[in-house]
């Protein structure tokens, strides 16, 4: 897999507006919180529900976050990474 664009979250924060634009362009979003993996289909899930779990306590998009095609993964879960990258 080739990385086309990379942003350092320590240098460029994705606030609510930037995160909303990114997430609304996706078809699927996976958000890992602890041992739970939440899976959203953006056509049927309200954007505010996704943002509620995708944004951290600072109001910025949680890290790590990455996109493959129309799928976005936020947080780290080895099984989810394998599924999306397969």
Q: What pLDDT does residue 1 have?
A: 65
pLDDT tens track for 10-26: 677 889 999 999 999 99
Q: What pLDDT does residue 3 have?
A: 67
Mean pLDDT of 20-46: 95
Give the range among 6-10, 36-40, 62-66, 78-82 with minimum mean pLDDT: 6-10
Q: Is 39 exposed, middle or buried (0-12, 13-18, 19+ CB in 10 A)?
A: exposed
H helices then E strands: how many in the chain?
3, 4
In this structure, are residues 75 and 32 in contact, taking their beta carbons and an 8 Å threshold?
yes
Q: Would you tell me how many other CB atoms lie within 10 Å of the CB of residue 65? A: 20
The pTM of this model reads 0.89
């Amino acid at each position: 897999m080739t990385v086309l664009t990379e942003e350092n979250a320590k240098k460029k924060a994705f606030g609510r507006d930037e995160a909303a634009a990114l997430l609304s362009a996706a078809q699927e979003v996976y958000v890992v919180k602890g041992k739970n993996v939440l899976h959203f289909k953006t056509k049927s899930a309200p954007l505010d529900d996704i943002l509620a779990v995708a944004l951290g306590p600072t109001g910025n998009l949680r890290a790590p976050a990455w996109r493959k095609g129309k799928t976005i993964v936020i947080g780290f879960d080895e099984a989810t990474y394998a599924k999306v990258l397969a």
